[in-house]
Amino acid sequence: MPDEADVAIATFEELMDLERDFEDVETEIIRQQVALSAPLYEKRAKLVPKIPNFWALVFEQAPPDLDQYIQPGDSAVLLSSLTDFSVSHFEIENGGKGDPRSVALKMEFSDNEWFENKVLEKKFWYRLSKDGEAGLVSEPVAIKWKSAEKDLTQGMLDLVIKVWEQDKKQANTDSTKIKKEKDYTPDEKALKEKIDATGLGGVSFFGLFGYRGLNVSAEENRLALEEEKKRAERAAGNAPDLNDEDDEDEDEEDVDEDPLALEIFPDGEEVALALTDDLWPNAIKYFSQAQEVDVSDMDFEDEDEDEEMGDDDQPATNGAQPPSKKRKA
Q: Could you tell me the CATH number of the domain that includes residue 272?
A: 3.30.1120.90
Look at residue 314 in the predicted model and tell me its pLDDT.
Answer: 46
Mean pLDDT calculated for residue range 292-314: 49
Q: Is residue 304 part of a domain?
A: no
Q: Residue 240: is its pLDDT beyond 90?
A: no
Residues above pLDDT 90, as percent of the chain: 60
In a domain, 171, yes or no: no
Contact 261, 189 (CB under 8 A): no
pLDDT band at 268 (very low <50, low <70, confident <90, very high): very high
What is the average pLDDT across 285-290? 95
Confidence of residue 269 (pLDDT cuts 50, 70, 90): very high
Number of domains in the chain: 1
Q: Write down the mean pLDDT value for the chain.
A: 83
SS3 234: helix
Higher pLDDT, 20 or 80: 80
Q: What pLDDT was estimated at residue 10?
A: 62
Q: What are phi and psi of 262, to 5 degrees?
A: -110, 15
Element (H, E) at 86: strand 82-88
Q: Is residue 317 part of a domain?
A: no
With bands split at pLDDT 50, 70 and 90, how would you rate the model's confidence at 20? Answer: confident
Q: Do residues 114 and 203 touch, judged by C-beta distance below 8 A?
A: no
pLDDT at 177: 60
Q: Is the pLDDT of residue 196 over 70?
A: yes
In terms of pLDDT, which residue wins out, 309 or 206? 206
| pLDDT, tens only, 135-145 | 999 999 999 99
- pLDDT at position 13 is 73
Residue 115, CB half-sphere, CA atoms under 13 Å: how many?
Answer: 23
Asked if residue 249 has pLDDT above 50, the reply is no
Beta strands in 129-216 (DSSP E): 134-138
**Quick check: 209 and 143 in contact, CB under 8 A?**
yes
Question: Residue 50 has what pLDDT?
Answer: 96
pLDDT class of 122 with cuts at 50, 70, 90: very high
Residue 130 lies in a domain: yes
Band (178; pLDDT cuts 50, 70, 90): confident
Quick one: pLDDT at residue 1?
53
pLDDT at 45: 97
Residue type, 119: V
- Establish if 121 belongs to a structural domain: yes
CB neighbours of residue 170 within 10 Å: 8
pTM of the model: 0.81
Question: For the stretch 123-135, what's the b/e string if a residue is b when 16 or more beta carbons lie within 10 angstroms of its beta carbon?
Answer: bbbbbbbeeeebb
Q: What pLDDT does residue 252 have?
A: 45
The residue with greater pLDDT, 57 or 8, is 57
What is the pLDDT averaged over residues 246-273? 75
Q: Is residue 315 a part of any domain in this protein?
A: no
Q: Could you list the residue range(s) of the whole structural domain that residue 76 is in?
A: 4-142+212-251+267-287
